[in-house]
């Protein structure tokens, strides 16, 4: 199961298509709080994908049990990428790479 925090319907569609192409179910969330609530109730922890445009560093404690987290955002959002890396999120893509990178990442981390 992939939990995806996404701010926009375009990216929600990109995520749904990429995940379905590798047979993965997706649940999307539009706010960090709803994502955190779902993660807290999930067993086992899901894969998590974060839209860096709405990701909040305060989310980090609620994601501690999640082993596989990736993020995406505008390629020019260097500060957001750096902040995500500082919080331990190593897998990060530019928006333009999301459709190509997400499916293989899911397969690798299931």
Say which CATH architecture domain 2-109 belongs to: 3-Layer(aba) Sandwich (3.40)
Instruction: List the chain domain ranges.
Output: 2-109
- Token pair for 50: 């974060």
The neighbour count for residue 82, using CB atoms within 10 Å, is: 11
Return the minimum-mean-pLDDT range out of 7-11, 45-49, 56-60, 72-76.
56-60
In this predicted structure, the answer to whether residue 102 has a pLDDT above a threshold of 90 is yes
Report d(CA 108, CA 6) in Å as an integer. 22
In this structure, how many other beta carbons lie within 10 angstroms of the beta carbon of residue 12?
17
- pTM for the structure as a whole: 0.95
Q: Two tokens at 30?
A: 């539009």
Residue that is written with structure tokens 């067993």 in the block: 43
Q: At 59, is the pLDDT very low, low, confident or very high (cuts 50, 70, 90)?
A: confident
């Amino acid at each position: 199961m992939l939990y995806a925090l996404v701010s926009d319907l375009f990216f929600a569609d990109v995520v749904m298509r990429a995940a379905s192409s590798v047979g993965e179910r997706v649940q999307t969330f539009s706010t960090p709080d709803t994502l955190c609530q779902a993660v807290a109730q999930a067993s086992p922890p899901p894969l998590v994908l974060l839209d860096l445009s709405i990701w909040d560093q305060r989310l980090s404690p609620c994601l501690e049990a999640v082993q596989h987290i990736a993020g995406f955002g505008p390629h020019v959002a260097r500060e957001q990428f750096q902040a995500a890396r500082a919080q331990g999120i190593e897998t990060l893509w530019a928006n333009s790479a999301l459709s190509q990178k997400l499916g293989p990442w899911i397969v690798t981390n299931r």
